[in-house]
Homo-oligomer: A and B are copies of this chain.
């Protein structure tokens, strides 16, 4: 898309276009919206951007988002301190919290093992996980890395490592998505669903 706009509006379109998932058309649409928006609304957005940069950090214990040294989950005494769910990224915490099916703690790895991109175990927060397991009362590690090649490789690596430490480890079930249509399930998902079938 050529830029025929003048200075400031084109600058904003360029900056917005750098954001993930914002193409040239959306960037233009947002820029025009900003131009016509109330100044106080734009100031609120600018303040929110600054606040995230200055106030939000990673929890020193689990790597989740936190505004202090620790996140609200690590600070919550009602959470089950004997279970740690290992995930790749902080947004995975929200996805799991929405299910209300888990009341334990988390550990954010910050990615998955991916030799092609040069990400090995030492680039992930695995050392910090081991530190948490020293002198702790953890009875189970639930591995909830993504159900793809990198996530599986990471899960296998962690499972082997934790086995030597005698800590029971589980992995989220793979199978047909609820509400899905068996006919449209891909072959790998379907074969995993067979492997994981349960006696009724």
- Across the interface, A91 reaches (CB within 8 A) one of B32, B66, B98, namely B32
In the complex, are the beta carbons of B48 and A11 less than 8 A apart? Answer: yes
- Across the interface, A98 reaches (CB within 8 A) one of B2, B19, B26, B97, namely B2
Interface of A is mostly: helix
List the B side residues contacting A9 at CB < 8 Å.
Answer: 52, 56, 65
List the B side residues contacting A49 at CB < 8 Å.
Answer: 12, 34, 42, 45-46
Q: Mark A12-50, 1 if CB is under 8 A from B, else 0.
A: 101110111110001011111111010101101110111
The answer to whether A55 has its CB under 8 Å from any CB of chain B is yes
The answer to whether A5 has its CB under 8 Å from any CB of chain B is yes
Counting chain A residues whose Cβ lies within 8 A of the other chain, the interface size class is 35 or more
List the B side residues contacting A65 at CB < 8 Å.
Answer: 5-6, 9, 35
The answer to whether A53 has its CB under 8 Å from any CB of chain B is yes
CA distance A28 to B12 in the complex (A): 20
Query: A interface vs B, CB < 8 Å?
Result: 1-2, 4-9, 11-12, 14-16, 18-22, 26, 28-35, 37, 39, 41-42, 44-46, 48-53, 55-56, 65-67, 71-72, 89-91, 93-94, 97-98
In the complex, are the beta carbons of A12 and B52 less than 8 A apart? Answer: yes
CA distance A57 to B75 in the complex (A): 49
List the B side residues contacting A33 at CB < 8 Å.
Answer: 19-20
